[in-house]
Every structure is written in C-alpha cells, then in structure tokens.
Amino acid sequence: MNGELLDEIVSINIEDNQKAIALNQRSCLGKIEGDILELSLIEATYLLEKGRLNIYIGDEKVNLKYLKSLIRSKQIHDKYIVFRDLKDRGYVIKAGFKYGSEFRLYERGNNPGEGHSQYLVKIIYESENLKVSNISSYARVAHGVKKSLLLAIIDEDTDITYYTLKWTRP
C-alpha cells in the first residue's frame, strides 16, 4: 500500500483500495475524508516500521530513518514509542488532544464508534519534576469525561511503565 506525505499527514487514496479501507475499519487507524485515508505521522511511521505501508514525497520513496528524524524534529517521538508499544500490545489508540492527553485508549475488543474509550493516556518523563496537583488535575479531567487515566512514564532508556489512576472524592 502506498501513501503520500503532505506536511504532517500521509494520504492514501482509498478508491479501489480494499487494504486501506480495512486498515481504517479493522485497525482503527487514520480517518477517512472523502476518498482519502489520512494517517498521522505517528500512525504512518508505525505502519512503515511494520512493513505495511510505503510512503512517498512526490516520486521519492521515504525510508524509516527519514520519518523517525521527522517525528523527532516535531518533538513527537516519545508519543510514537508509547503509541507503538500500546499498539503492539493489541490496543486501539486514537488521538486524545481534546482532553489534554496524548491518546484515548480502548480496551481490547472495543473500537471507536462501537463504544467509548476507557482511558486517557498522559505521557510523562521519569526525570521530570511533577507536582502532585498536576497528576491530580490529569486524573480529575479523565474522571470528568468518564475515563481512567493511564500514565505512561518514560525513563532515560525509553522503557515505559504504565500506571492507572482514578480520581475519587474522599
């Protein structure tokens, strides 16, 4: 399957392309706009890494090294490694910027349109100084939209540890 990189979106023409339609319907990747499947840079990098997508800029084929340098320059590489880790574990993930989180996470077996996401994913760094009030605020926002908070803590070796938080009123 081939896609074209335009700015921060990889576009795939879905006209007579059953693989692209299946990618959206089964894997819940991208969004369909007319006869185009639009993938974010994170989704496209994941598919390129898995060998399921070829990406072009004009007639020139883009390699994984180029795409990873692009997501590093846009400062979304850490989002990519969390996305890749959760996707490899079988979860459905969608962008969650609306609630101040990086992603919305669906339990295995649930998909967007069939149910609601169970978690908001917030990425923090092991070396980052955090206030308890900030973590409480993240949990309160998640609770406000009837979700749990999944903290993805990235250490210096880019290993990820996950914690689930729920906000409760004592």
Q: Is 99 a catalytic residue?
A: no
Nearest C-alpha neighbor of 5 from the set 21, 47, 141? 47
Catalytic residue among 19, 50, 116, 166: 116
**Residue 39: is it exposed, middle or buried by C-beta count within 10 angstroms (0-12/13-18/19+)?**
buried
What lies within 8 Å, CB to CB, of 129 at 6+ separation is: none
Residue 149 C-beta-side C-alpha neighbours within 13 Å: 23
Q: Is 116 a catalytic residue?
A: yes
* Phi-psi label, residue 49: left if phi above 0, alpha if psi -120 to 50, beta otherwise: alpha
61 given a catalytic annotation:
no
Amino acid letter at 56?
Answer: Y
Give the angle subtended at the CA of 53 by the CAs of 153 and 63, to the nearest 5°.
75
Name the catalytic one among 91, 106, 119, 138.
Answer: 106
Residues marked active site are found at 106, 116, 147
